[in-house]
């Protein structure tokens, strides 16, 4: 039996006069499916390679080296900035530029190299078209799925000599611990004024129009130690002070724009000692900066009251986190995404994110950076996964964005 191939698909079967080699339509379809499964998938192969490399925040060296090799193999000249030493990482920001070959809007693409900290071995595997980690730990789709799709799209632009108006890559370390790498990157290097990150766990087509402002509040309660069985009345419990403060706080989802969370509490030295110290850390977020300011003051008041009631001292620190942003449906970067998604057969949906991404940093610096969902699911957990089809689809979306930016 001979098989004719056209553009990678089975299109004809030679039939003997006796008819013994005749295949019915169902068997032909099955054969085509099996053939397709054996074809190489460079996006999947790259993604699996990246997912096998551990890269918790501050330890991105192995992934950075793999990415640098990939880009150099394309004939590009990527460089790594000196941010590593400043931010406490093994890798800095990677930057690469493709010079424009056609008129239009230059673009930058950003993905982060790190993942949340590991909790087990990395053993990515594909089962029924879905990639998961067989090692009962995170997969790393956040954000290596974006990394693989963007790099494969750039490879195709180079290999196929596709016209483009200029493409820049910014690949950052330590995103998961406060967008640290992106904040250390010199955005003045960018020629593009508009760019994209793929860092939202939702079906492809979901467009993130905004992310919240963030504040961290840390309180250190100081009481007086005493033997809990012999002289408890001489002690002043810092844990009681912290507990009273937390009990008076509004926590969780406060409204459709605002959240508050007590994420860390630690204190005491032994079960039979009245605890002389207790530390509490809170994460506060709101899409309304005015609301966030009011919430910070409300939390500080609860902390001061809890300390006073328990006759303890307290020190507080408020740190500004990511600055929020809000894009409009008619902003150019949003229109580009809508055009590209439509070309790929996706009906865009719009919403807001409760989390931060490197897009926060670039928008705060006066650029337009849009966050697009890329199909990853259950991120930051051992159930994290992504469909192979979505990895491939985001390559198509990336190429469509590049095409939409042409004049």
pLDDT, tens digit, 9 for 90 and up, residues 56-88:
999 999 999 999 999 999 999 999 999 999 999
Catalytic status, residue 234: no
Residue-wise pLDDT for 100-124, tens only, equals 999 999 999 999 999 999 888 999 9
Q: What pLDDT shows up at residue 269? A: 95
Catalytic residue among 59, 175, 257, 390: 175
Q: What is the pTM of this model?
A: 0.85
Look at residue 15 and tell me whether its pLDDT is greater than 70.
no
313-371 per-position pLDDT tens digit: 999 999 999 999 999 999 999 999 999 999 999 999 999 999 999 999 999 999 999 99
For CATH 3.40.630.10, the residue range(s) in the chain are 42-211+324-404
How confident is residue 13, by pLDDT bands cut at 50, 70 and 90? very low
Residue 233 reports pLDDT greater than 60: yes
2 pLDDT exceeds 70? no
Q: How many other C-beta atoms can be found within 10 angstroms of the C-beta atom of residue 12? A: 11
- pLDDT beyond 60 at 300: yes
Q: Annotated catalytic residue: which of 60, 105, 114, 403?
A: 114
What residue spans in the chain does CATH classification 3.30.70.360 cover? 213-320
How many CB atoms lie under 10 A from the CB of residue 40? 6
Which residue, chain included where needed, has tokens 């032994």?
270
Check residue 36 and give its pLDDT.
47
Please indicate whether residue 114 is annotated as part of the active site: yes
The average confidence (pLDDT) of the chain is 91
CA 285 to chain centre: 18
Q: Stretch 11-16: mean pLDDT, rounded?
A: 30
- Contact of 44 with 388, CB cutoff 8 Å: yes
Q: Looking at residue 21, what is its pLDDT? A: 37
What pLDDT sits at residue 10? 28
pLDDT band at residue 287 using 50, 70 and 90 as cut-offs: very high
CATH fold for domain 42-211+324-404: Aminopeptidase (3.40.630)
Domain 213-320 has CATH 2.60.40.10: no
Q: In the predicted model, what is the mean pLDDT of residues 269-281?
A: 97
**3 state SS for the chain:** CCEEEECCEEEEECCCCCCCCCCCHHHHHHHHHHHHHHCCCHHHHHHHHHHCCCCCCCCCHHHHHHHHHHHHHCCCCCEECCHHHHHCCCCCCEEEEECCCCCECCEEEEEECCCCCCCCCCCEEEECCEEEECCCCCCCHHHHHHHHHHHHHHHHHHHCCCCCCCEEEEEECCCCCCCHHHHHCCHHHCCCCEEEEEEECCCCCEEEEEECEEEEEEEEEECECCECCCCHHHCECHHHHHHHHHHCCCCEEEECCEEEEEEEEEECCCCCECCCEEEEEEEEEECCHHHHHHHHHHHHHHHHHHHHHCCCEEEEEEEECCCCEECCCCCHHHHHHHHHHHHCCCCCEEEECCCCCHHHHHHHCCCEEEEEECCCECCCCCCCEEEHHHHHHHHHHHHHHHHHCEC
pLDDT at 302: 98
């Amino acid at each position: 039996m001979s098989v004719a191939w056209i553009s990678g698909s089975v299109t004809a079967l030679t039939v003997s006069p006796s008819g013994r080699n005749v295949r019915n339509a169902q068997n032909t379809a099955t054969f085509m499916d099996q053939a397709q499964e054996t074809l190489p998938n460079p996006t999947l192969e790259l993604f699996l390679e990246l997912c096998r490399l551990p890269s918790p925040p501050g330890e991105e060296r192995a992934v950075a080296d793999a990415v640098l090799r990939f880009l150099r193999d394309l004939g590009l000249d990527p460089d790594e900035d000196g941010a590593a030493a400043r931010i406490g990482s093994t890798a800095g920001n990677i930057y690469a530029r493709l010079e424009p070959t056609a008129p239009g809007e230059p673009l930058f693409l950003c993905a982060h190299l790190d993942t949340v900290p590991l909790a087990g071995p990395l053993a990515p595997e594909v089962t029924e078209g879905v990639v998961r980690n067989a090692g009962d730990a995170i997969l790393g789709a956040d954000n290596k799925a974006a990394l693989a799709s963007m790099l494969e799209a750039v490879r195709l632009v180079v290999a196929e000599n596709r016209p483009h108006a200029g493409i820049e890559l910014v690949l950052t370390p330590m995103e998961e611990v406060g967008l640290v790498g992106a904040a250390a990157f010199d955005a003045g290097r960018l020629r593009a004024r508009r760019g994209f990150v793929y860092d939202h766990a939702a079906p492809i087509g979901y467009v993130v129009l905004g992310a919240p402002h963030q504040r961290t509040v840390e309180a250190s309660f100081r009481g007086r130690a005493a033997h809990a069985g012999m002289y408890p009345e001489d002690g002043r419990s810092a844990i009681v002070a912290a507990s009273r403060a937390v009990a008076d706080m509004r926590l969780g989802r406060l409204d459709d724009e605002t959240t508050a969370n007590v994420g860390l509490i630690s204190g005491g030295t032994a079960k039979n000692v009245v605890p002389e110290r207790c530390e509490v850390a809170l994460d506060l977020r709101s899409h309304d900066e005015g609301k966030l300011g009011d919430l910070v003051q409300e939390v500080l008041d609860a902390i001061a009251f809890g300390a006073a009631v328990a006759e303890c001292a307290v020190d507080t620190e408020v740190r500004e986190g990511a600055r929020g942003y809000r894009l409009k449906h008619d902003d150019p970067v949003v229109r580009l995404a809508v055009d590209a998604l439509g070309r790929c057969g996706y009906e865009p949906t719009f919403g807001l994110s409760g989390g931060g991404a490197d897009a926060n940093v670039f928008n705060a610096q006066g650029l337009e950076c849009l966050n697009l969902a890329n199909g990853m699911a259950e991120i930051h957990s051992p159930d994290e996964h992504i469909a192979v089809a979505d990895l491939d689809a985001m390559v198509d979306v990336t190429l469509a964005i590049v095409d939409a930016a042409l004049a």
